[in-house]
Structure 1
Amino acid sequence: MPSAEPAAVALTDVQHSYGNVVAVGTITLTLPAGEFLVLVGASGCGKSTLLRLIAGFEEPTAGAVRAGGVPPRPGRGAGMVFQQPRLLPWRTVGGNIELALRYAGVPAQARRARVAELLARVGLYDVADRRVWQISGGQQQRVAIARAIAVDNPLLLLDEPFAALDALTRERLQEDLRRVSHEAGRTCVFVTHSVDEAVFLGSRIVVLSSRPGRIVLDLPVNLPRAGITPDELRGLPEYAALRAQVGHAVRAAAA
């Protein structure tokens, strides 16, 4: 009988310290493929540290991290979106995405069509030839998302990507990200301080305690997604109940 496919992400008894400071307590967590996990908690609880461990930017002090059954390596198997877009200002919008495709070995003749497809997917149909400084901050963050999904990596990691944006742009990008992640079929791990953002985006929410971060709530989100607008979704009684439950857990964990 064939063995089961490995989990998209598996953390086993993971701990992480910076010198004498323990940032992450003992955490065991498994993500199946296609899940949209949101990590939420107060500042300093270890959310971003966990994301860096999953990305392979750091190694755990104790325990094991696996992505697709193997230890993660930076730039391999995962796309990353940071709080700031981190685009190259001397390249065009399309050039930033094309560079990721070139590093991934996509043939030159296929890159232009792929760039156009990716920009259309994030709602930017006509900006490929613009410079980064010629588009808004929200548009830049959409380009960063397009760049992260340009390569066919199974995992998408997002570290508070909308925190610096105004409320209207943030809501629009939340809708874009939910649509794009569903279309791409990626496993997503998203870090945020926002309870509403966690409930709106996640298929699963994990709340971390104050430092050292430990899991205090691991909650599946079973809200209707198809055939419903964002305003209708946020107006559902079960949405409000989930938001209240997660908010209470976050406040209690930070106390």
Structure 2
Amino acid sequence: MASSEVTGGTVGSPGADGAARPGSVRLDHVTHRYGRGAEAVTAVGPVDLTVPAGEFLVLVGASGCGKSTLLRLIAGFEQPTHGSVRVSGTPPRPGTAAGVVFQQPRLFPWRTVRGNLDLALRYAGTDRSLWPQRRAELLERVGLEGTDARRTWELSGGQQQRVAIARALAAENPLLLLDEPFAALDALARERLQEDVRRVTAETGRTTVFVTHSADEAVFLASRIVVLTKRPGTVALDLPVPLPRGDGDAQELRNSADFTALRARISDCVKAAAS
């Protein structure tokens, strides 16, 4: 990842080849508006952003700055009003461009954990004979071994979100998108899931774009942070995160002076960008 830092702009593009690698994301002069005529509201833009394959990018900013809009554009759920979005070098197709995890788990409550994952595996085109093996691998990856026969309503909020993450991983897309997936959880469950997502994405090597309004969460998860201004959202800060990303102690990292300093800097930038 580039080591340069940009305030009020974006870090340089890695080039056409890098932007077309599986899991890479590129936004060129993207603007998105809702409504028409005098009622039109510009949610984001213009935004130029390149996310190299394998990067963990966190979009952070105050509520209403366009973070979720950008995520929907990358997922292909919406089309930009101006500019272009490319995932792995081509326009994103909803349902195939990325695995997506929302703020709410959005599981099927009438299905078991097994049923929810099997449905995802079917849509992913996985051979039915491999479902038991893949299901077991996915549940182990998110720390839910032995829960496949349980109904989703029997699970805690944190466990339900783990199932949602496992479901998003089922398709083996090289890109994972998460839209404030831990916002409704208590502090302890949130920290545990942050650690799980950090570990899982490192193990799979997937490109990850994560939306949050929390500076603490952004610094803990990201290999790179982009802070957005108030609406219409543009890039206020594009910053590589120089913290270790190995298997070190999570609490030790959170208590480190470097973490504390970076969290304060991001928090200050978010407040300034929202003013």
For residues 32-78 of structure 1, give each alpha carbon's deviation from its aligned partner in whole angstroms, at most 9, with x where no partner exists: 00000000000100000000000000000000000000000100120
Alignment of 1:1-255 (within 5 A): 4-5=17-18, 6-7=20-21, 8-19=24-35, 20-255=40-275
Distance in 1, matches of 2:137 and 2:246, equals 23
SS of residue paired to 1:4: helix
CA shift in 2, pair 1:227/1:152, >3 Å: closer
SS of residue paired to 1:140: helix
Distance in 2, matches of 1:187 and 1:42, equals 24
Counterpart amino acid of residue 271 in structure 2: R
TM-score, length-scaled by structure 1 = 0.97
Counterpart amino acid of residue 27 in structure 2: L
Counterpart amino acid of residue 137 in structure 1: G
Runs of 4+ in 1 over 2 A off after TM superposition: none
Deviation at 1:107, TM superposition (A): 1.3
| Cα contact 2:124–2:170 (8 A) shared by 1 | no
Deviation at 1:204, TM superposition (A): 0.3
For residues 139-192 of structure 1, give each alpha carbon's deviation from its aligned partner in whole angstroms, at most 9, with x where no partner exists: 000000000011110100000000000000000000000001111110000000
Counterpart amino acid of residue 72 in structure 1: P
Distance in 1, matches of 2:256 and 2:74, equals 33
Segments of 5+ residues of structure 2 without an aligned counterpart are 1-15
Segments of 5+ residues of structure 1 without an aligned counterpart are none
SS of residue paired to 2:17: coil
Aligned-residue CA RMSD (Å): 1.0
Aligned residues: 253
Distance in 1, matches of 2:17 and 2:267, equals 36
What is the aligned partner in structure 1 of residue 11 from structure 2?
none
Distance in 2, matches of 1:180 and 1:126, equals 19
Distance in 2, matches of 1:175 and 1:126, equals 21
Distance in 2, matches of 1:25 and 1:103, equals 33
Distance in 2, matches of 1:54 and 1:199, equals 22
For residues 195-247 of structure 1, give each alpha carbon's deviation from its aligned partner in whole angstroms, at most 9, with x where no partner exists: 00000000000000000000000000010122421111011111111111101
Question: Percent of aligned positions with the same letter in both sequences?
Answer: 67
Counterpart amino acid of residue 4 in structure 1: D
Distance in 1, matches of 2:187 and 2:148, equals 26
| Cα contact 2:55–2:207 (8 A) shared by 1 | yes
Counterpart amino acid of residue 222 in structure 2: G
Deviation at 1:4, TM superposition (A): 2.5
| Cα contact 2:177–2:209 (8 A) shared by 1 | yes
TM-score, length-scaled by structure 2 = 0.90
| Cα contact 2:26–2:50 (8 A) shared by 1 | yes
